Structure 1
Amino acid sequence: MRLVVATCQVDYAGRLTAHLPMARRVLMIKADGSVLVHSDGGSYKPLNWMSPPCTLREGTSEDGDVEWTVTSRSTAKGPEDTLRILIQEIHHDTAHDLGVDPGLQKDGVEKHLQELLAEHPATLSVGLTLVRREFPTAIGPVDLMCRDAEGRAVAVEIKRRGDIDGVEQLTRYLELLNRDPHLKPVRGIFAAQEIKPQARVLALDRGIACALVDYDALRGLDDPTARLF
């Protein structure tokens, strides 16, 4: 991972346009190819970002300033995305090898929910069958990758309490998965014991189905004698 603290201007162009005027910010370039622009506020969310796969090119502007151009390939959803970062001054620039991350360790209930839904995916949608648990993407694994009755790919994200952050997470997974010609079109299901109203509105607006999970009822479907190990 490379961390750069710089006075910079950021311009995004693609499905829409966005402009961040010159100010001091943190630029994060991850090993998976993602580029994130952070300020000293706004909690953990970046001001702007580019998800992998993307390409970063370093050059020089007409005024002699350092200029980064980050591009992602165009998709059926829209034109090529471009993030242009004009750097007036670099205050700090370091690179760190973080090694292999062991991944998020889910709490007991959420982990068990995933196990139970992997055994009984049809409780989320009639005809749904499991392809794989922890299906890998460039930004982390999707809880369940399934196929519906028509053979179409379905990505399932599972939470105990479903909020907006969970919907955003599944949205990012779907964006990457739909770039794979062997998978697309991939639709999403946001499954949780409880889904907040704002999260439900956002999910439905993005074409993501919501599924409430009855943990106690699902545990009744769990038959340990049917397991091989």
Structure 2
Amino acid sequence: MRVVFADCSVDYSGRLDAHLERAHRLIMVKADGSVLVHADGGSYKPLNWMSPPATMRVRAPEGVDAEAGVTEVWEVSATKSDDQLVIRVFSISADYTENLGEEPGLIKDGVEADLQKLLAEQVERLGEGATLVRREYPTPIGPVDLMVRDGNGGYIAVEIKRRGGIDGVEQLTRYLDLLGRDARLQPLHGVFAAQEIKPQARTLAEDRGIECLVLDYDAMRGMDHPEDRLF
């Protein structure tokens, strides 16, 4: 990544045209070809940018630019469109390049695997007397997250999502259709569990006889303390 502090003006042409008057700004040039122009404000959002894939060409100023004191012209062109970002650099106060190496990626707290593990350890949340049969219970089209024995001798197929949408309900419906053909798993019903369940998904689930369960991730980890709440 290259980080440049420069006195510059910026012009963008393409789907819309935009202009930034001359000022001192931060320019970030990333290895993927993206270029971002930041001010000292506005949180994380750049004033203007070019998304990858893109290529950058640096050329000497000509004519009016040279007369105005421009020292370099950076032309950043999108690969898949005619969009172009032009940065006219008057002076550079700092220019630093660092190889950041391979990015391992963001590990999200509360991913589906974490929720599955916690609910498998706390199956009593599914009802009194519930016991775990197996995680990743197989079906011909893929595993359902949890198979649980309820306190009345029946079975519960549980599909777990971070954010529960209609697709998740459809997925559980297919699992229930296949699992329902196994006489050993009768009676069987489904539970759609998620940290957040969209209203349309809840409506569809309840219409199909599927129970919805909202999971409180902090409470399941033992990090939620009701006595510390103001409300």
Q: TM-score, normalised by structure 1?
A: 0.50
Secondary structure of 2:43's match?
coil
Alignment of 1:149-228 (within 5 A): 193=197, 217=212
- Structure 1: any 5+ residue segments left out of the alignment? 128-158, 161-191, 196-209, 221-229
Partner of 1:104: 106
Q: Given the alignment of the two structures, is residue 123 of structure 1 paired with residue 125 of structure 2, yes or no?
A: no
Counterpart CA distance in 1 for 2:29 and 2:202 is 37
Residue 141 of structure 2 corresponds to none
Q: Residue in 2 aligned with 1:53? A: 53
Is it true that 1:2 corresponds to 2:8 in the alignment?
no
Instruction: Find the aligned partners of 1:98 and 1:193 in 2 and give their Cα distance.
Output: 38
How far apart, CA to CA, are the structure 2 residues paired with 1:68 and 1:113?
48
SS of structure 2 residue aligned to 1:123: helix
Aligned to 1:155: none
Summarize the Cα distance change of 1:194–1:107 in structure 2 as closer, same or farther, 3 Å threshold: farther
Q: Deviations over 1:98-134 (max 9, x none)?
A: 111111110125665798459x98635858xxxxxxx
Alpha-carbon contact 2:12-2:18 (below 8 Å) kept: yes
Return the offset for 1:31.
Answer: 1.1
Alignment partner, residue 13 of structure 1: 13
1:108 partner SS: coil
Kindly provide the amino acid, as one letter, of the partner of residue 74 in structure 2: W
Distance 1:111 1:193, change over 3 A: farther
**Equivalent residue for 2:73?**
67
Measured against aligned partners, the alpha-carbon deviations of 1:150-177 in whole angstroms (never above 9, x if no partner) come to xxxxxxxxx96xxxxxxxxxxxxxxxxx
In the alignment, the residues of structure 1 paired with residue 23 and residue 167 of structure 2 have an alpha-carbon distance, to the nearest angstrom, of: 50
- Shift in Å at residue 73 of structure 1? 3.0
Q: Does the 8 Å CA contact 2:166/2:201 hold for their aligned counterparts? A: no
The gaps in structure 2 that reach 5 residues or longer are 117-144, 146-159, 172-193, 206-210, 216-231
C-alpha distance in 1, partners of 2:51/2:21? Answer: 22
Contact 1:117 1:123 in 2 (8 A): no
Q: Which has the larger radius of gyration?
A: 2
**How far apart, in 1, do the equivalents of 2:21 and 2:93 lie?**
17
Following superposition, the deviation at residue 45 of structure 1 comes to: 0.6
Aligned-pair identity in percent equals: 46
Q: CA distance change for structure 1 residues 103 and 59 in 2, over 3 Å: closer, same or farther? A: same
How far does residue 219 in structure 1 lie from its aligned partner after superposition?
8.2
Residues 18-33 of structure 1 mapped to structure 2, 5 A cutoff: 18-33=18-33
**Distance 1:107-1:54 versus aligned 2 partners, 3 A rule:** same
1:40 & 1:31 partners in 2: Cα distance?
A: 23
Count the aligned residue pairs.
139
Deviation at 1:65, TM superposition (A): 1.9
Residues 129-152 of structure 1 show CA distances to partners (whole Å, capped at 9, x for unaligned) of xxxxxxxxxxxxxxxxxxxxxxxx
TM-score norm. by structure 2 comes to: 0.50
Report whether the alignment pairs 1:43 with 2:43. Answer: yes
Give the 3-state SS of the residue equivalent to 1:217 in structure 2.
strand
Q: Which amino acid aligns with 1:108?
A: G
Q: Distance in 2 between matches of 1:58 and 1:121?
A: 47
Q: 1:111 to 1:48 in 2, by over 3 A?
A: farther
* Alignment partners' CA distance in 1, 2:93 and 2:15: 32
Structure 1 Cα separation of the partners of residues 106 and 2 of structure 2: 22
